[in-house]
Amino acid sequence: MIKSLLSLNKEVVHILPVAQVDPTVLHDFLRKLIIDMEASGFKVIALISDNNSVNRKDAPFFAKPASLSIVCQHPADTSRPLFYFVLGQVHLLKCIRNNWVNQRNSWRCMCFPDPKSTDAQPKIPTALFRVLCQLHETEKNELLKVAPTLTLKALNPSNMERENIKLALKICN
């Protein structure tokens, strides 16, 4: 998918089945795609990818010599940099939500360090997914809600729905 920096336009460029793809095949494919897009008049300045293991292993192939760096040599124009980001905010948010939903403890607890703490041993707050489920159950028939975006689908997404950022946002708002 391509997205313009100067407009809201987004377009699908190509769909690549990735069930059996390895990092070298993905790298060759992306390299050719970037060169073809540049030849068509587009200016590719960055690749943004999720944290899938194939994507993580592909990133170093863009650097010469191979290394894990966010700035790489551009395949179509060696005088320009190509930025390679392995976690977009959207993917990061979905990963956090999916990890939270997948917690195996009884309350589906996610523990995290207090981001405002300056202590050497910061407090470890806990977020309980079950509390969101209980809140939704309590409010489902109310006109005024504390959490109006919580839905059953957002709280219990199918495997396909776990890729939907709008559902992930519903549990965060």
Which one, of 88, 61, 73, 94, lies nearest residue 169 by Cα?
94
Angle at 95 between CA 94 and CA 100, to 5 degrees: 100
Confidence check: pLDDT of 29 > 80: yes
Confidence check: pLDDT of 68 > 70: no
Does the reported pTM lie above 0.75? Answer: no
Copy the structure tokens of residue 42: 């587009």
Q: What is the tally of helices (H) and strands (E) in the chain?
A: 6, 7
Mean pLDDT (the chain) is 85
Coil, strand or helix at 48: strand
List, in sequence order, every residue forming a beta bridge with 73; answer none if it has no partner. Answer: 81
Q: How much is the pLDDT for 91? A: 76
Average pLDDT over residues 88-110: 82
135, 150 Cβ separation under 8 angstroms: yes
Coil, strand or helix at 73: strand
